Amino acid sequence: MIDLRSDTVTQPTEAMRRAMASAELGDDVLGEDPTVSALEALAAEITGKEAALLVPSGTMANLISLLTHCGRGEEVILGDQAHIFFYEQGGSASVGGIHPRTVPNQTDGTMALNVVRDSIRADDPHFPRTRLIAVENTHNRCSGSPLPPSYLQAVAGLAAEHDLAVHMDGARIFNAAAALNVSVADLARPVDSLSFCLSKGLSAPIGSLVCGRRDFIQQARRNRKVLGGGMRQAGIIAAAGLVALREMTDRLVDDHRNARRLAEGLSAMRRAHLDPARVQTNIVYVDLDPEGASAAETVARLTDEGVQVGATGAHQFRAVTHYGITGDDIEKALKSFARVLA
């Protein structure tokens, strides 16, 4: 089976398993786990932020970030295709009382700056108070598009004019950096906070980091605890995360090359509709004819052919390349795709 459902299916490497087995541990809620502290220090260094916080998941990283930036009844401006809006159960609203204000995501994952500007609330008792702008990089539902530093700087400039903060959901920020050939720090510099995942393309089993200013992370640590995310001998997780950051970022370009090859092959198939030029990282979305077989039926047929993909709409599916998927796997997968889609 060639599993292209998500880069979350990646398994920890041998080096990660060894590091986990021999990790030096302590009680991290008491601030005494040296391996967690080392991971947080490395994450802060790589992102160029003052401090970082290890949390169990990307969803919790975003929730903690929003809770730390916004109070109840305050508003976050975010894209209508944002993971935070689409796939996190509306947690910032249900848990934090934070009001979401969506603006359309463009196909490249950006939000038009004039639309964001027009969405910032005036000081009027009818309105919630705008507190935060949230961006996503790479943008999952927008073909995995990377947002460049120039765009992030423009968002930050607008935010500064209105005394707003900027949070970046950087679940795949290392993919963005690899695709744009810039450093993660270049992408993180304009924003106040960012989250990123160890457990996707970087292949660690568990964990995300929240990064930002020291006082922000101090409050984020309190919010992690109230959500039940304070972990004790968490060095066992952090040990794999350290290997992920040291050994697994340079190879992401392989995933991007495989995704582009996959997209080019798929685009030649009669029933698959996509523009391979939009595939800059490791995510390939394929649209199907609305009159033809549904995404669910197509996914089932592909599974019978030995390829797993994920339905993302009634007539759309997604294929994601990752560690463990080779160039040969892509060629094999394309033969299976051809039997269903050509």
Site residues (vs ligand PLP, CB under 6 A): 57-59, 62, 83, 136, 140, 169, 171, 197, 199, 208
User: What residues contact residue 302 under an 8 Å CB cut-off, 6+ apart?
Assistant: 308, 309, 336, 337, 340
C-alpha 116/C-alpha 151 separation (Å) is 13
Nearer CB in complex with ligand PLP: 106/336: 106
For ligand PLP, which residue has the nearest CB? 58
Nearer to ligand PLP, 267 or 312 (CB): 312
Q: Report, in Å, the least distance between residue 121 CB and ligand PLP.
A: 25
**CB of residue 209 vs ligand PLP: minimum separation in angstroms?**
11
**Side chain identity at 232, as an amino acid letter?**
R
- Give the shortest CB-135-to-ligand PLP separation in angstroms: 10
For 111, residues 6+ apart whose C-beta sits below 8 A from its C-beta are 77, 79, 103, 104, 105, 135
Triad 112, 118, 123: Cα angle to 5°: 145
ω before 138 within 30° of 0 (cis)? yes
**Beta carbon nearer to ligand PLP, 132 or 334:** 132
Nearer to ligand PLP, 65 or 258 (CB): 65
- Token digits of residue 255: 């995933």
Nearer to ligand PLP among residue 208 and residue 298 (C-beta): 208
Task: Spell out the alpha helix ranges (H) of the chain.
Answer: 14-21, 34-47, 58-69, 83-86, 91-94, 113-119, 149-161, 173-180, 184-188, 214-226, 235-247, 252-267, 295-304, 327-341
Q: Rounded CA gap, 262 and 150, in Å?
A: 29
Kindly compute the dihedral angle of the four CA atoms of residues 273, 277, 278, 279, in this order, to the nearest 10 degrees: 90
Q: Nearest distance from residue 145's CB to ligand PLP, in Å?
A: 11
We find the least distance from the C-beta atom of residue 269 to ligand PLP, in angstroms, to be: 26
Give the nearest distance from C-beta 339 to ligand PLP in angstroms: 29
CB of 87 to ligand PLP, least distance (A): 7
In angstroms, give the least distance from the CB of 60 to ligand PLP.
7
Q: Residue 179 or 341: which CB sits closer to ligand PLP?
A: 179
Structure tokens at 83: 């993971």
Minimum distance from residue 57 beta carbon to ligand PLP (Å): 4
Report the residue number, 208 or 265, with the smaller CB distance to ligand PLP: 208
The two three-digit tokens of residue 125, written as one number:
């008792």
By beta-carbon proximity to ligand PLP, the closer residue of 62 and 223 is: 62
For residues 136 and 337, which CB has a smaller minimum distance to ligand PLP in the complex? Answer: 136
Token reading at 103: 């603006």
* DSSP bridge partners of 139: 145
Positive or negative: CA dihedral 232, 235, 237, 238: positive
Q: Tokens 């969803």 sit at which residue?
A: 59
